[in-house]
Structure 1
Amino acid sequence: MLNHITVMGRLTRDPELRRTQSGTPVASFSIACDRDYKDKATGERPTDFLDIVAWRTTGEFVSKYFSQGRMAVVSGRLQMRDWTDKEGNKRRSAEIVADSVYFGDSKAKEGQEPPASTGGPVEAAGGDPFGGLPGGFAPNFGEPADDGTLPF
């Protein structure tokens, strides 16, 4: 069976990092995801607010490098959780358990340094997308030059 979800949205608040009794880190946050269509009455896109839970190193990464307003791409699984409220009523909520979280925007907030290796599309400090590699190195994304050695 397959339970996989990938969503992209902006954090609605700073991630909250806690630790279980055994010391395992867990971060919780929520993102706002716009829908693909506009509402006919208002002309605006409806927004869904999704709760995210990130465990261990993923949770630590999120709490260190993400903050409110930052665009995030979250990939993981959807999980339903049953719980009882203060009045004794049974409740059910859906949350995404994140396997990976990537940057969805290209700029770090002012005064925030991006990590050395992010796993996501983030520019290095100073706006150089190649991290100031020596010799002005930039990967060649074009067609390779024909040197006559290819068999086709």
Structure 2
Amino acid sequence: MSRCFNKVILIGIVASEPEFKKSPGGVSLLTFRLMTSESFKTADGRIVDRTDWFSIVTWRNLADVSKKIVRKGARIFVEGVLRSRDVQLRSGEKVQKIEVVAENILLLDGKKNNNKKDVSNYYAVGDDIELPDFLNDLEKI
């Protein structure tokens, strides 16, 4: 079997209020949408903006910590993996949904949460996962 690699790194704006749930077995789950934006020049010289939308999923301890710091409008760093799953639409059609399962989340701006506490230095890290060294330079971005 050949070696494969699945890693996603995103910096974007939280585009929806996070939704927190507990599974029947007590496992924490937090989901939200993340928007990324980039500009590029076309062959004819026009500047075009492109916006992409991602579904982010966090589990267990990361979900518990993230629910305290992730808010709509916040600029965050997300590191994780892509996962696909089959879902059935209301119409009955079955489709494949692609999600980013987060392993690390870092708040990049000084947005304040509902308790009005500054959370600019908070981060949420998955179990037993170290932050990459380059994250120290993200505040300069």
Common fold by TM > 0.5: yes
TM range (shorter): 0.7 to 0.9
- What is residue 59 of structure 1 aligned with on the other side? 63
How well do the aligned residues superpose, as a CA RMSD in angstroms?
A: 2.5
Matched, 1:25 2:41: no
SS in 1 for 2:91: coil
TM-score in terms of structure 2 length: 0.74
- Count of equivalent residues: 119
Matched, 1:6 2:9: yes
Query: Greater Rg, structure 1 or structure 2?
Result: 1
SS in 1 for 2:40: coil
Q: In 1, are the aligned partners of 2:107 and 2:119 still within 8 Å (CA)?
A: no
Q: Which has the higher contact order (CA 8 A, sep 6+)?
A: 2
Greater percentage in strand: 2
**C-alpha distance in 2 between matches for 1:38 and 1:69:** 27
Identity of aligned residues (%): 23
User: Which blocks of at least 5 consecutive residues in structure 2 are unaligned?
Assistant: 125-141
After TM superposition, the structure 1 = structure 2 runs for residues 1-150 of structure 1, keeping only pairs within 5 Å, are 1-37=4-40, 43-105=47-109, 107-109=110-112, 112-114=116-118, 118-119=122-123
**C-alpha distance in 2 between matches for 1:108 and 1:116:** 7
TM-score in terms of structure 1 length: 0.69
